[in-house]
Amino acid sequence: MSIAPAEAVAERVGAAGAVAVEAAPLAPRARLLPALCAVYRAQLSRARVARIPLLFVATFQSIGIMVLMRGVVDGGNEARAVVAGSSVLVVAFVALNLLAQYFGQLRASGGLDHYATLPVPPAAVVLGAAGAYASFTVPGTVVTAVTGSVLFDLPMTHLWVLAAVIPLAGAALAGLGAALGLLAPRQELATLLGQLGMSAALLLGVLPADRLPGPVGYARDLLPSTYGVEALARTFDARPDWAVVGLDLGVCAAVGVVSLSVATWAYRRAAVR
């Protein structure tokens, strides 16, 4: 049994007689990209079982709307609007509606406390969850677009533009859905706001713009999914105006950056309460 020297003990004793304890250094904070990938994989694994049935519902809902509109719309610009709006509606159902419900439930149940204890940036939590939910919209959106093209005899030559429409519209709608879920004071209100947002995407996205009243048309311009719908609808032309398509996608990307930034701020605000 060894006895510590008196000098060593004295160095650790303060003036009031309390022993000074050296604090252990904290682990470095995780970088954004690795943390984002980790959250994305975790959310993707979790949502794979719980959200796939709802994805089928979203796809069948959009296809059912196109079948109903087939008896009213013959072709032309109206057919393009119906197919494009129904395709983006799948994104709105998952990325906006379900994500608003998820973050509303997470906030109400105290699940945000778990993420707050992790050494990950708030942006990684929001972007990881938004990316995972938006990823589930890819098969449903593609199936809806192909089915609509067959129903309305539209060309499928430029459907590759979905590779840009899905992530950009998904980012804008997912950011909006996350912000609604995090800012809503109650879980039920987050669910209601998500449902209202999806209904707005349905009414303002599927119906042709020239059939809408003036004030409603202004509301359509404020909806993030509108620019994804417009970009996809323009590609059904024989010779699409790619400059206008690129402009619509650029607006959609800018809205996505803003909505995800607001969602990140809302996450910080909700996590510290």
Q: What span, in angstroms and rounded, lies between the C-alpha atoms of 164 and 247?
A: 12
pLDDT at residue 116 tops 90: no
Backbone phi, psi, residue 218, to 5°: -65, -40
Q: Is the pLDDT of residue 160 over 90?
A: yes
What's phi and psi for 110, nearest 5 deg?
A: 80, 15
242-267 average pLDDT score: 91
Burial class (CB in 10 A: 0-12, 13-18, 19+), 176: buried
pLDDT in tens, 6-53: 444 444 444 444 444 455 454 555 677 777 788 888 877 766 666 677
Mean pLDDT of 186-204: 87
pLDDT in tens, 70-107: 878 777 788 898 999 999 999 888 888 888 888 888 88
What is the per-residue pLDDT for 272? Answer: 66
pLDDT of residue 243: 93
Per-residue pLDDT band at 144 (split at 50, 70, 90): very high
Percentage, residues of the chain above pLDDT 70: 86
Which pLDDT score is estimated for 28? 57
Residue with the larger pLDDT of the pair 203 and 4: 203
CA 227 to CA 237: how far, in whole Å?
A: 16
pLDDT computed for residue 162 by the predictor = 93
Residue 127 is predicted with a pLDDT of 86
Q: What is the mean pLDDT of residues 228-247?
A: 91
Please give the pLDDT value at position 258. Answer: 92
CA-to-CA separations, 204 to 57, 171, 226, 229, 261, in angstroms, rounded: 20, 19, 8, 10, 25
Residue 202 has pLDDT above 50, yes or no: yes
Quick check: 249 pLDDT over 90?
yes
Average pLDDT over residues 173-177: 90
Least confident of 10-19, 239-248, 260-269: 10-19
Query: Is residue 228 a contact partner of residue 88, using CB atoms and an 8 Å limit?
Result: yes
User: Which long-range contacts (C-beta less than 8 Å, at least 24 apart) are formed by 137-142?
Assistant: 137/55, 137/58, 137/90, 137/91, 137/94, 137/95, 137/166, 137/170, 138/166, 139/55, 139/59, 140/55, 140/56, 140/58, 140/59, 140/62, 140/90, 140/94, 141/87, 141/88, 141/90, 141/91, 141/166
Cβ 31 vs Cβ 120: under 8 Å: no
Q: Are 47 and 105 in contact (CB under 8 A)?
A: no
Residue 54, pLDDT > 50, answer: yes
- The pLDDT of residue 51 is 62
| pLDDT, greater one: 21 or 113 | 113
Q: How far apart are CA 233 and CA 88, in angstroms?
A: 11
Model-level pTM greater than 0.95?
no
* Mean pLDDT, rounded, of the chain: 81
More confident residue, 198 or 22: 198
Buried b (16+ CB within 10 A) or exposed e, 223-257: bbbbbbbbbbbbbbeeebeeeebeebbebbbebbe
